[in-house]
Amino acid sequence: MSGERTSAPCDYCADCKDCSGNVLVHIFADTVAKNMDHEDFIRRVLTCVCCYYGANWCGVIDADLPLGVWTPRYWYDAETGWMADTLFYNNESAAQFEHWVLALRNEKTVAYETIEDLRENCPDEYEQYVRLQVKSFMGVPYYQGGNGFVVVKNLTQRQHDAGALMAAANVLGSALRDIQDIEAARLLTKPDQDADENTVVAKVA
pLDDT digits (tens, 9 = 90+) for 150-191: 999 999 998 898 988 998 888 888 888 878 778 788 888 765
Structural domain includes residue 3: no
Q: pLDDT-based confidence at 197, cuts 50/70/90?
A: low
pTM over 0.85: no
Higher pLDDT, 10 or 88: 88
**Would residue 30 count as lying in a domain?**
yes
**48 occurs within a structural domain:** yes
Helix ranges (DSSP H) in 34-137? 38-52, 98-105, 123-131
200 φψ region: left (φ > 0), alpha (ψ -120 to 50), beta (else): beta
pLDDT (mean) for 47-65: 91
How far is 98 from 114, CA to CA, in rounded Å? 17
pLDDT-based confidence at residue 27 (cuts at 50, 70, 90): low
Kindly tell me the burial class for residue 171, based on how many C-beta atoms sit within 10 Å of its own C-beta (0-12, 13-18, 19 or more).
buried
E strand spans, the chain: 57-64, 69-77, 81-82, 92-93, 110-112, 137-142, 148-153
Please indicate, yes or no, if residue 66 is contained in any of the structural domains.
Answer: yes
Q: Please give the pLDDT value at position 98.
A: 84
CATH label of the domain that carries residue 107 = 3.30.450.40
Tally the domains of the chain: 1
- Whether 204 is covered by a domain: the verdict is no
Q: Average model confidence (pLDDT) for the chain?
A: 80
7's CB contacts (< 8 A; 6+ apart) are 51, 78, 79
Within 10 angstroms of residue 192's Cβ, the number of other Cβ atoms is 9
| Residue 4 placed within a domain | no
Q: Which band of pLDDT confidence, cut at 50, 70 and 90, is reported for residue 6?
A: very low
Check pLDDT > 80 for residue 141.
yes
Distance, CA of 100 to CA of 105 (rounded, Å): 9
- Could you tell me the residue range of the domain that residue 57 belongs to? 16-198
Residue 205 lies in a domain: no
Other CB atoms within 10 A of residue 128 CB: 17
* pLDDT 10s digits, 77-128: 999 999 999 998 888 988 889 889 999 999 999 999 999 999 988 899 999 9
- Residue 140: is its pLDDT beyond 80? yes
Q: 57 and 76 in contact (C-beta within 8 Å)?
A: yes
